[in-house]
Amino acid sequence: MKIMVVGPGAFGIKHLDGITQIDGAEVVSLVGRDEEKAKKVADEYGISHVSADLTSALESTEAEAVILCTPTQMHAAQAIKCMRAGKHVQVEIPLADSWADAEAVLKTQKETGRVCMVGHTRRFNPSHQWIHKQIQSGDIAIQQMDVQTYFFRRKNINAKGEARSWTDHLLWHHAAHTVDLFAYQAGSPITEANVIQGPIHPELGIALDMSVQMKAANGAICTLSLSFNNDGPIGTFFRYICDNGTYIARYDDLFNGKEELIDVSKVDVSMNGIELQDREFISSIRDGREPNSSVAQVLPCYRVLYDLEQQLEG
């Protein structure tokens, strides 16, 4: 499987690391707006082709699939461009920052028949996979999820502390993880959702604090707190309150309600959620099947985000 990675930033590097662990997968092209930076990363990973232009790269390489790790505002248009060029696509979360763009990506996927998968990594983290398997077996059912997504980003920087050319967003990016995961784990569509936000940052133009409340058709509820103002432990922490036990997920680690560690190392072939995400993308192309976290599967998440946006603007 010959792959092109677009965007050699913090998440592009995570995908490059993940792909090195997958037999029969090779990154043959790296595309980045700063060609000098992209060349440096390409040299580290033994990638022969480097370009600053996606259009020419799609035409000049033999990549069968593309992984997009670019700014949010580019995701939908680039995913559509890649599928129309005959490539399978994995686009990092979020799929889009508008409902119309999200719908357009699904429309193109149906027209082209290409695999189009979105990087909803929480579906693949071993901790959340363990919970999902327990739900599917009937051992537990979610009553409530309490989620905290906390970062310290009062300046426009990425996960590596580097300056960003675009502005991240609590609703369209970070809330997307939990909105999708809640419906996925509850096994039931979201029927009610409400949002409030704090003051708008004078320079970034976005709210740095937000709270979202949701209810699924089966009665399960979820409370999500998000902040870019949090000067303390950072990351996303999930508390699953179930009819048979309580579980706390911190990325790939899982604990019970007594803070006892649960061994999730045998859930999948790796403990790296990004690698597992890439494995699903590649195997779905090889098998000619719809991947977990396909654009069709995650589209309802973006409808909820759109509805929440309308509340904030109303």
114 secondary structure, DSSP code: -
Q: How far is CA 93 from CA 58, 68, 71, 191, in A?
A: 21, 9, 10, 22
CB contact burial 47-74 (16+ within 10 A = b; e otherwise): bebbbeebeebbeebebebbbbbbbbbb
Read off the tokens for 128. 């959340």
Q: What pLDDT was estimated at residue 234?
A: 86
* Torsion angle in degrees (nearest 10) through CA of 240, 245, 250, 254: -140
Read off the tokens for 227. 């902040």
- What strands, in cross-sheet order, belong to the sheet with 142-150? 190-197, 209-216, 221-227, 142-150, 235-242, 245-250, 253-256, 261-262
Q: What pLDDT was estimated at residue 42?
A: 97
Distance CA(10)–CA(26), nearest Å, equals: 19
Residue 200: its H or E element: none
pTM, to two decimals: 0.94
What is 2-121+274-294's CATH number? Answer: 3.40.50.720
Residues of the chain under the 50 pLDDT cut: none
Q: Look up the CATH superfamily of 125-266.
A: Dihydrodipicolinate Reductase; domain 2 (3.30.360.10)
Determine the 3-state secondary structure of 224 from DSSP.
Answer: strand
Q: pLDDT digits over 181-230, tens only? A: 999 999 999 999 999 999 999 888 889 999 999 999 999 999 999 999 99
Q: What pLDDT was estimated at residue 158?
A: 61
* Chain mean position to CA 122: 7
Q: What pLDDT was estimated at residue 155?
A: 74
Q: What pLDDT was estimated at residue 78?
A: 98
Q: What pLDDT was estimated at residue 166?
A: 61
121 phi, psi to nearest 5 deg? -60, -30
Distance CA(136)–CA(113), nearest Å, equals: 29
Residue with tokens 């579980």: 247
**Residue ranges per structural domain of the chain:** 2-121+274-294, 125-266
Cα radius of gyration rounded to whole Å, the chain: 19
Domains 2-121+274-294 and 125-266 share a fold: no
Q: Which amino acid is at 18?
A: G
Q: What pLDDT was estimated at residue 161?
A: 67
Q: What pLDDT was estimated at residue 204?
A: 85
Residue 57: its H or E element: helix 54-60
Q: What pLDDT was estimated at residue 159?
A: 60
Q: What pLDDT was estimated at residue 168?
A: 79
Residues for the chain: how many in total?
A: 314
Side-chain half-sphere CA neighbours of 308 within 13 A: 28
